[in-house]
């Protein structure tokens, strides 16, 4: 099932430092959801903030365990752009995202789960999102 996309090519900001995760997520999203989506993977908070300003992504996927992740979440707190977090299955990480009711994916990624979760988050109305960000 392909996502219907807006007039412009949708951009996903993927805040991640693991090459395997970047490759896996790109393959899953582009093959099962949106073949024309542009996925901009960055591993530094400076680059992530620049991409947010310059490219206005339609979805942010962020590794919660990466240095700078909470700075990114703070920067994106009040915007309608959806955020999907990625975590390893550590008890502390799971407890945090569940407690805060954030949307998340567990690594390593599984194709059907990524497809379903990205669709849910990407298509969810802005007023139902738990994490939003402010571009100003």
Kindly write down the DSSP assignment for every residue of 82-114, as one continuous string.
Answer: -EEEEEES-HHHHHHHHHTT--EEEESP-HHHH
Task: Please give the C-alpha separations between residue 66 and each of 31, 36, 45, 89, 127, in angstroms, as whole numbers.
Answer: 26, 27, 9, 14, 27
Question: What single DSSP character describes residue 9?
Answer: P
Does position 108 have pLDDT exceeding 50, yes or no?
Answer: yes
Q: Which fold has domain 11-128?
A: Rossmann fold (3.40.50)
Using pLDDT thresholds of 50, 70 and 90, give the confidence band for residue 48.
Answer: very high
Q: Could you tell me the two tokens for 7?
A: 């007039």
> Which of 55-64, 84-93, 105-114 is modeled with the greatest confidence?
55-64
**SS3 label, residue 130:** coil
């Amino acid at each position: 099932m392909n996502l219907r996309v807006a007039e412009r090519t949708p951009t996903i900001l993927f805040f991640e430092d693991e090459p395997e995760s970047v490759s896996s997520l790109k393959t899953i999203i582009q093959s099962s959801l949106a073949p024309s989506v542009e996925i901009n993977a960055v591993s530094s908070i400076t680059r992530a903030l620049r991409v947010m300003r310059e490219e206005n992504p339609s979805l942010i996927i962020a590794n919660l365990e990466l240095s700078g992740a909470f700075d990114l979440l703070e920067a994106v707190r009040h915007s309608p752009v959806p955020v999907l977090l990625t975590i390893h299955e550590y008890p502390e990480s799971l407890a945090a995202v569940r407690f805060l009711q954030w949307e998340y994916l567990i690594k390593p990624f599984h194709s059907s789960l990524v497809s379903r979760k990205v669709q849910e988050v990407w298509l969810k109305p802005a007023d139902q999102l738990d994490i939003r960000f402010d571009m100003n």
